[in-house]
Structure 1
Amino acid sequence: MKLNRKNFLLGTAGLLFGSAAIRSLFENIRGEKMMQKLPVFFVGHGSPMNALGPNPLADTWAESTKDFPEPKAILSISAHWFTKGTYVTSNQSPPTIHDFYGFPQELFDVQYSAPGDPKLAEELSKSKDAQVIQDDSWGLDHGTWSVLRNMYPKANIPVVQLSLDATKPGEWHYEFAKSLSKLREQGVLVLGSGDLVHNLRLYDWKNQDKAHDWALDANETFKDLIQKRDWKSLANYQKLGTAVQIAIPTPEHYFPMLYALALADEKEEIRFYNDIIQSSVSLTSMKIS
């Protein structure tokens, strides 16, 4: 066939159409659209009162979602669902859980009425890396909603919570979390919510703005290891010295950070924000993208 401008344009259009058709076919086979890879967050949520903006923490949480597309769903790993075994919320309409006491009624009145995502829960329950049990008795605790009501105040994005197995060590949690990496390319935002340093027994309520020396030391140790991407040392935190042992009397607020780090690609940037310590609680947070 003699090549002329008309034939060239027709051929080019055919190639473009063919590529689109192949891409569409591939997406249909996968059953999902190819999406932009979403960031991963670890948020130091601190006191439930931080949910009631405006305040510097709430404002930063709100700002952190402005530079990427709205997620199809959110998977939250909260410090406040610490269980024997691994569970995932399967509710169609998960309730707002007020898992605290001694706070103003204004906080108990908060409702974060985001829908659940039973299909995502079912997908997670099929994990080959751990036995994940679907659970409709839990909902969204304050580790989740106190942050999300500022990140996504419309509460229009489905949210699923994954519990932390109290019987497993840090290294197990880090390795299991790797199996969640595919969710980032399926439009699911993964959020770890806890505190790097969390020792309420040593919290000085009269001097909240003054950080304990050991809390500062532990927080800097964690940040240094994160920047070095020394995941093994972070997973085996018990060997990191006295300051860290005081900072983590129980691991439920620390483990969500391991989930976020497990999903970080080698070339992705890890950015710290809200790098504040209140007495014996660290609010240091990370965005990985």
Structure 2
Amino acid sequence: MSEIDKMPVLFIGHGSPMNIISNNSYTESLVKLGKELPRPKAIMVISAHWMTDGTYVTCNERPKTIYDFYGFPQELYEIQYPSQGSPDKADLACRSVHKAEVKCSNQWGLDHASWAVLKHMYPDADIPVFEMSIDYSFNDWQPKMMQHHYDMAAELGELRKQGVLIIGSGNIVHNLSLIDFRNVDAKPYGWAVEFDEKVKANLLSGNHRDLIEYLNMGKTATMAVPTLDHYLPMVYAISLQEKGEPLEFIHEGFQHASISMRCFKIG
């Protein structure tokens, strides 16, 4: 593929680990996406499953495959994603951010927010991958600390120019306490659909303010986002949208009634 000025930014709703071995409209959209995107020099995933005190990036030469889920079929625990790391691009991430200190870590690897998605997009594991954690140490999230995450992530734009595909991996609606584990195609709750549609409208209009201060979107917000771990990767993604950059949806839908699988591409 020809060189481009900068790589796109993705937000991927990754959902259940069962998607690793499933063939459905969601996983098919990831396969298609991997074939259509410009080939990255490296991939950085902002992971909903790496919560830390402070912000870190993985600097491993060979990041391990992490099975951060329990009670699933043995088949999942036998899958490997043996990509190389990208210590040089991880170092660039550290140097690019000035609003917070970003540190290197060799203690983590690739959790399923990364490899469950990349297994479909790039099944050969032939592109270097590293992760960025989410600083989850704040006690007061609203609205100051949400803005902190947005502003910090906006400083990562240089990575796009250096051929890095940035992926925020979480879920816009993610309520495990009300999930229908038995039925992946269960009818989604009304409150889940309502919130997801409000997020969609704000994404299309470029209203980042209400996406950051998500409680502005009404009473359904607390049901849809009971914790911020899966929502924040979306905030990181939109922070990198430059003026006039298009946003398009890669996939829309729900799984297990309370998980939005909405995915989008910026650029």
SS of alignment partner, residue 110 of structure 1: coil
Q: What does 1:216-231 correspond to in 2, within 5 Å?
A: 216-231=193-208
**SS, match of residue 249 in structure 1:** coil
CA distance in 1: counterparts of 2:182 and 2:35, whole angstroms? 36
Q: How is 1:195-274 mapped onto 2 (pairs within 5 angstroms)? A: 195-208=171-184, 209-274=186-251
Residue 67 of structure 2 aligns to a residue whose secondary structure is coil
Deviations 1:188-208 (A, max 9, x none): 000010000000001123454
- Corresponding position of 1:284: 262
Amino acid at match of 2:110: L
Q: 1:130 aligns with which of 85, 92, 100?
A: 100
Q: 1:151 aligns with which of 121, 129, 135?
A: 121
Deviation at 1:186, TM superposition (A): 0.8
How many residue pairs were aligned?
256
- In the alignment, structure 2 segments of 5+ residues that lack a partner are 139-144
Stretches of structure 1 that go unaligned for 5 or more consecutive residues are 1-33
Identity within the alignment, % = 43
1:139 matched to 2:109 = yes
* Contact 2:178 2:258 (C-alpha < 8 Å) held by counterparts: yes
Deviations 1:127-172 (A, max 9, x none): 3221111100000000000000111111011111000011352211
String of CA shifts for 1:80-101, please: whole Å, max 9, x gaps. 0011110110111000000000
Deviation of the 1:120 alpha carbon:
1.5
Farther off after superposition, 136-145 or 262-271:
262-271
Partner of 2:44: 75
Aligned: 1:176 with 2:152: yes
Q: Which stretch of structure 1 is more off in the superposition, 125-134 or 275-284?
A: 125-134
1:109 corresponds to which residue? 78
Measured in 2, the distance between the counterparts of 1:68 and 1:240 equals 32
Structure 1 residue runs of 4+, over 4 Å off? Answer: none
Partner of 2:142: none
- Residue 6 of structure 1 is matched in structure 2 by none
Report whether the alignment pairs 1:62 with 2:39: no
C-alpha distance in structure 2 between counterparts of 1:166 and 1:237, whole Å:
17
> What amino acid is aligned across from residue 38 of structure 2 in structure 1?
P
CA pair 206-100 structure 1, distance change in 2 beyond 3 A: closer
SS in 1 for 2:196: helix
SS of alignment partner, residue 66 of structure 1: helix
- Aligned with residue 60 of structure 2, among 91, 96, 109: 91
Task: Looking at secondary structure, tell me which structure has more helix per residue.
Answer: 1
Secondary structure of the equivalent of 1:222?
helix
Aligned to 2:88: 119
Kindly provide the amino acid, as one letter, of the partner of residue 170 in structure 2. G
C-alpha distance in structure 2 between counterparts of 1:221 and 1:257, whole Å: 14
Q: TM-score, normalised by structure 2?
A: 0.92
For 1:160, the equivalent position in structure 2 comes to: 130
Give the CA RMSD over aligned residues.
Answer: 1.4
- Is contact 2:98-2:152 (8 Å) kept? no
Cα pair 1:274 1:283 within 8 Å, conserved = yes
Cα distance in 2 for residues equivalent to 1:188 and 1:205: 35
Task: Tell me the distance in 2 between the aligned counterparts of 1:281 and 1:242.
Answer: 17
Structure 2 Cα separation of the partners of residues 188 and 49 of structure 1: 27
Of residues 200-209 and 264-273 in structure 1, the stretch that sits farther from structure 2 once superposed is: 200-209
TM-score (norm 1): 0.85
Max Rg structure: 1
**1:49 to 1:207, Cα distance in 2 relative to 1, 3 A:** closer
1:245-269 C-alpha deviation (Å, 9 max, x unpaired): 1111100100000111111122222
